Chain A
């Protein structure tokens, strides 16, 4: 463990894990805090550059909307779409109840 404050604290790791739908153990949180701190400190060297006049580059190509005629085309049959499902019921993916009866 280092002697100074981590850039990314174990508490922050817990919060981010929550956002990312992960559930690391206490040990994993500590290790992630160390590793993420090291990486975040490394990427902060970008602050050496003045980019106030630079537009963000979202995509290297000049992207534009590509549309096609609105005609029905063959699509994935239901059975194939469901063939990898861990649990199914009829033509549906099966999951625990998500909406409580009001």
Chain B
């Protein structure tokens, strides 16, 4: 799809372009890119139905804000009447009886959904290798992972099948695959976007995010789905700032902090150099860029791997082979539950449930879970203190570019550490975006992360747009 969001909108308005042809093109691209295994379920019939409704609205002189947006959706977000697998065998034939609030808002705003994308099972993973439906390949290099857990959405956008997709984050699952695939990925402030219809993993961390190759389209999608929802009482009543008008933004005087903890050992030199070069470009454009510190950064992954599994072990208790999912027979109810869970969940999901049950169990609760909650406060305080002096923080999104398929699958801990620069924002609740900023000598994309204060997604989008313009010139 070569037209930008605004060009496409203008073409639709003037009648030079029709919405059904956009669906045709996207579906043709899914066929051409089938080898990437980005999709779990394609829904062409429903897509044409939705497109028909948008076409009628256009004929009636109505121009819905997202008319012309063809969307892919991570398969842990519910859409009524469509299979919702979470890339798990335990939900293989589950048909969702309702639609997630965020997705419904996008459909109401004129977006058309063409399919559900692959992910690490229940969004637990950083490579999309932990899927019961096979691994997704990185379009930039077919031997590499697309990142995860929203790897299917990232690959679909990077391959040009769609311009935008929905992903979800618990600890970097939008930003890290966005970085690995060379696209944009926004993790909104916790409480900004409704979680109703997003399959629960770590409820104090989960957020739906947007992944895109077009910053304006991403901002419009975010704008349409953000805000209070009666079905999710953790959504914030804070008004959503206008993110749709991104032009006319000057970097002059913008205070940007480079947290020193994100530039230390273990970072691939090409990644560090690229971010430093970008910092120099920003300085020349009038931004005030200086080093700062988020002293508890190294504790983010250990804190995350207590809190997220603890919440997961509780959230995934609902998969019991009784109300939905395949049931494995047993002599009594207990046997059925055990057999269904043992056979229905994959290895990584079971590992996290076990970890969560361990840190919450009698005798360990204070030592692990409560301890992690205390450190979580320190991590949030790091950000509050940094934002007294800075408008934005700028870091690499991941320490390396995309790794090889199979490279980290044998070591859960090595896999967990690929989220070392992204997990903090989830623990602190602050919004963060990853944007493509260059590539290494193998041609693999490098992502840069911008982090803002609570509810300042508008600043993330405006700065991102400006940086993309500057870097491309």
Q: Which B135-161 residues have a C-beta within 8 angstroms of A?
A: none
Q: Which of A32, A35, A43, A61 contacts B429 (CB 8 A)?
A: A61
Q: Which A25-72 residues have a C-beta within 8 angstroms of B?
A: 32, 35-36, 38-40, 42-47, 49, 51, 54-61, 63, 65-66, 68
In contact, A85 and B336 (Cβ under 8 angstroms) = no
Interfacial chain B residues near A95, Cβ < 8 Å: 322, 333, 336
Q: Which of B306, B341, B345, B375 contacts A49 (CB 8 A)?
A: B375
Looking at chain B's contact residues, the main secondary structure is helix
Interfacial chain A residues near B392, Cβ < 8 Å: none
A93-B97 CB under 8 A given contacts A43-B302, A86-B327: no
Which one of B25-33, B99-107, B228-236 is at the A interface? B228-236
CA distance in complex: A87, B329 (Å): 11
- How many Å from the CB of B193 to the closest CB on chain A? 13
- How many Å from the CB of B369 to the closest CB on chain A? 9
CA distance in complex: A39, B368 (Å): 12
Query: Interface readout for B427-440 with A: 1 if CB under 8 Å, 0 if not?
Result: 01100000000000
Interfacial chain A residues near B354, Cβ < 8 Å: 13, 16-17, 20, 22, 32, 36
CA distance in complex: A49, B303 (Å): 12
A85-B324 CB under 8 A given contacts A16-B361, A43-B302: yes
Q: Which B308-324 residues have a C-beta within 8 angstroms of A?
A: 313, 317, 320-324
- How many Å from the CB of A9 to the closest CB on chain B? 12
Which one of B37-45, B177-185, B252-260, B376-384 is at the A interface? B376-384
A36-B358 CB under 8 A given contacts A51-B374, A95-B336: yes
The yes or no answer to A6 lying at the interface (CB within 8 A) is no
In contact, B338 and A22 (Cβ under 8 angstroms) = yes
Q: Which of B204, B303, B321 contacts A59 (CB 8 A)?
A: B204
The yes or no answer to A90 lying at the interface (CB within 8 A) is no
The yes or no answer to B47 lying at the interface (CB within 8 A) is no
In contact, A84 and B325 (Cβ under 8 angstroms) = yes
Q: Which of A17, A20, A80 contacts B97 (CB 8 A)?
A: A80
Of all chain B residues, which has the CB nearest A55? B377
- How many Å from the CB of B355 to the closest CB on chain A? 6
- How many Å from the CB of B108 to the closest CB on chain A? 18
The yes or no answer to A98 lying at the interface (CB within 8 A) is yes
CA distance in complex: A58, B310 (Å): 12
Interfacial chain A residues near B317, Cβ < 8 Å: 21
Of all chain A residues, which has the CB nearest B340? A86
Q: Which of B341, B351, B368, B429 contacts A21 (CB 8 A)?
A: B341
In contact, A81 and B190 (Cβ under 8 angstroms) = no
In contact, A85 and B375 (Cβ under 8 angstroms) = no
- How many Å from the CB of A33 to the closest CB on chain B? 10
- How many Å from the CB of A78 to the closest CB on chain B? 11
In contact, B322 and A93 (Cβ under 8 angstroms) = yes
CA distance in complex: A87, B294 (Å): 53
In contact, A43 and B305 (Cβ under 8 angstroms) = yes
A8-B358 CB under 8 A given contacts A43-B368, A61-B429, A86-B327: yes
CA distance in complex: A76, B93 (Å): 19
Interfacial chain A residues near B12, Cβ < 8 Å: none
- How many Å from the CB of B455 to the closest CB on chain A? 11
Interfacial chain B residues near A102, Cβ < 8 Å: none
CA distance in complex: A56, B204 (Å): 13
In contact, B373 and A58 (Cβ under 8 angstroms) = yes
Interfacial chain A residues near B251, Cβ < 8 Å: none
In contact, A24 and B361 (Cβ under 8 angstroms) = no
A66-B233 CB under 8 A given contacts A22-B353, A57-B376: yes
| B binding-site residues for A, Cβ under 8 Å | 93-95, 97-98, 190-191, 204, 230, 233-234, 236, 296, 298-299, 302-303, 305-306, 313, 317, 320-327, 330-334, 336-339, 341-342, 345, 350-351, 353-358, 361, 368, 370-378, 380, 412-413, 416, 428-429
| A binding-site residues for B, Cβ under 8 Å | 8, 12-13, 16-17, 19-24, 32, 35-36, 38-40, 42-47, 49, 51, 54-61, 63, 65-66, 68, 76, 80-81, 83-87, 93, 95-98
28 A-B pairs with C-beta separation under 8 A: A8-B358, A16-B354, A16-B357, A16-B361, A19-B361, A21-B338, A24-B342, A32-B354, A35-B412, A39-B305, A39-B355, A39-B416, A42-B413, A46-B302, A46-B306, A49-B296, A49-B375, A54-B374, A55-B374, A57-B374, A59-B234, A60-B428, A65-B233, A84-B94, A84-B97, A84-B324, A84-B325, A86-B327
